């Protein structure tokens, strides 16, 4: 057994730390009172010594778990280097070249990549690159989309009203994110592009924060087809679904389409906007940021993560382990308010009948030593590290079966 709960949850040290944060910082999107101390493989230890089996990979940001030997080696190498962080768009460094080469080996041919800090900024720069070519026109986004919380990206976000209330918006036209090929609105993009001048279409192919909704094949095919027909760039946001999470480098590969511009972050450790060279802003200074390409440790860790995913065949592992997980979870569907299990590879959502049940069950799972996260209004997401083993999956499934049924 990897998980082990020894104290009341939260324990005394965790309670003290959380109280300080609540008083002096902003109590943001924390799901449960976990205070992280350290991690090993697929296990997170809290400050009171409790061990939790982690099926969140910190929202997909730690695809190799928490103690991969190559990542530990990088941390050791940089431990004596005081220039671990530089103004990366103002000074060159080798890590920038290395991650650019590595990313170019996995994004579509003829793409360049601009490095930045976060997922929201990766989207922000994707839309700037589109505006630069197309002019300040409305952009298209989808119902339940999540593209980040900076004001530009937020304009195209529709997953939760609380994220947007009172904030001003860039011009946006919303279409329905269709999950069925026979949805009556499957062709809505055609009508919209016919009747409006549009700067870009922005979409996820598997929605993350919006609820782990898998787009219909026809919906994504239509976005690509009509974007081509009307000469509008298609931006695909792979911040959550990318970097191997679905068993392919990018979720769009399951749909046989390619974007013109794409956003990457989370598992890459840094934000990145990759774009077809025909969208290169060319003039200097259009895009920049002090820390963009400046976190040298993050960039070398991101580079190593791509290497390890290739070498250890973790795309195949994501597919195989995802199938085992889904098979196990399907056993509990239609029981005790569990409506559906959906997803591709290790990007799996469990839909509940009510938000209350989902929220209560997340806390119960946490208290039993398993970490999962919410997604959308009433789903849970299961996103373990890509390195997960069958034994770890079985341990997690056993806790889920006990708590959820």
- For ligand PLP, which residue has the nearest CB? 119
CA distance 163 to 293: 28
170 close to 164: Cβ distance less than 8 angstroms: no
**Closest separation in Å from C-beta 227 to ligand PLP:** 19
Please choose, out of 9-17, 134-142, 144-152, 396-404, the segment that lies near ligand PLP by the rule CB under 6 A: 144-152
- Taking the least distance from each CB to ligand PLP, the nearer of 204 and 351 is 204
3 versus 147: smaller Cβ distance to ligand PLP: 147
From residue 182 to residue 211, the character string flagging contacts with ligand PLP as x (rule: CB under 6 A) and all else as - is: ----------------------x---xx--
Distance of CA 203 to the CA centre of its chain: 13
Could you give the CA distance from residue 348 to residue 22 in angstroms, rounded to a whole number?
31
Does position 68 interact with ligand PLP (CB under 6 A)? The reply is: no
| Contacts (CB under 6 A) with ligand PLP, residues 250-279 | 265
The nearest distance, CB 266 to ligand PLP, in angstroms, is 7
Residue 349 CB partners (closer than 8 Å, separation 6+):
211, 212, 213, 340, 341, 342, 343, 375, 376, 379, 380, 381, 382
Residues composing the chain? 405
344 binds ligand PLP (CB under 6 A): no
Of the candidate spans 140-148, 222-230, 290-298, 320-328, the one that interacts with ligand PLP by CB under 6 A turns out to be 140-148
CA distance 123 to 237: 7
* Contact residue for ligand PLP among 201, 239, 344, 346 (CB under 6 A): 239
Q: In angstroms, what is the minimal distance from the CB of 346 to ligand PLP?
A: 15
Q: What are phi and psi of 63, to 5 degrees?
A: -70, -15
Q: What angle do CA 288, 292, 296 make, to 5 degrees?
A: 150
Q: Which span (4-12, 113-121, 185-193, 212-220) binds ligand PLP, by CB under 6 A? A: 113-121
CB-CB neighbours of 320 under 10 Å: 15
> Could you say whether residue 46 binds ligand PLP (CB under 6 A)?
no
Helix, strand or coil, per DSSP, at residue 67 = coil
Binding site residues, ligand PLP, CB under 6 A: 118-120, 123, 146-148, 204, 208-209, 237, 239-240, 265
């Amino acid at each position: 057994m990897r998980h082990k709960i020894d104290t009341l949850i939260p324990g005394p040290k965790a309670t003290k730390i959380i109280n300080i944060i609540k008083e002096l910082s902003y109590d943001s999107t924390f799901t449960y009172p976990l205070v992280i101390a350290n991690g090993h493989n697929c296990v997170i230890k809290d400050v009171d010594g409790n061990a939790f089996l982690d099926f969140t990979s910190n929202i997909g940001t730690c695809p190799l778990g928490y103690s991969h030997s190559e990542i530990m080696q990088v941390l050791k190498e940089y431990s004596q280097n005081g220039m671990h962080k530089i103004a990366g768009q103002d000074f060159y460094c080798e890590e920038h070249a290395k991650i650019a080469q590595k990313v170019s080996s996995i994004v579509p041919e003829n793409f360049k990549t601009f490095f930045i800090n976060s997922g929201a900024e990766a989207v922000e720069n994707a839309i700037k690159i589109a505006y630069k070519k197309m002019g300040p026109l409305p952009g298209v986004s989808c119902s339940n989309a999540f593209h980040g919380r900076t004001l530009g990206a937020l304009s195209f976000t529709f997953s939760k009203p609380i994220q947007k209330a009172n904030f001003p918006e860039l011009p946006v036209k919303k279409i329905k994110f269709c999950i069925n090929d026979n949805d009556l609105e499957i062709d809505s993009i055609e009508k919209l592009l016919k009747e409006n001048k549009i700067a870009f279409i922005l979409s996820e192919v598997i929605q993350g924060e919006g609820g782990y909704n898998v787009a219909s094949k026809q919906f994504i095919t239509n976005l690509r087809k009509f974007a081509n027909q009307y000469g509008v760039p298609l931006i695909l946001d792979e911040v959550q679904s990318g970097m191997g999470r679905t068993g392919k480098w990018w979720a769009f590969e399951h749909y046989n389409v390619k974007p013109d511009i794409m956003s990457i972050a989370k598992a890459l450790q840094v934000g990145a906007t990759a774009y077809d060279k025909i969208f290169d802003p060319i003039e200097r200074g259009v895009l920049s940021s002090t820390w963009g390409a400046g976190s040298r440790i993050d960039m070398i860790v991101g580079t190593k993560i791509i290497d390890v995913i290739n070498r250890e065949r973790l795309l195949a592992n994501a597919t195989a382990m995802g199938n085992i997980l889904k098979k196990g979870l399907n056993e509990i569907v239609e029981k005790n308010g569990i409506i559906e299990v959906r997803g591709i590879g290790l990007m799996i959502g469990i839909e509940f009948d009510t938000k209350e049940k989902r929220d209560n069950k997340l806390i119960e799972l946490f208290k039993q030593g398993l970490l999962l996260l919410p997604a959308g209004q009433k789903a849970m997401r299961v996103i373990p590290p890509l390195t997960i083993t069958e034994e770890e999956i079985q341990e997690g499934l056993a806790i889920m079966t006990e708590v959820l049924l």
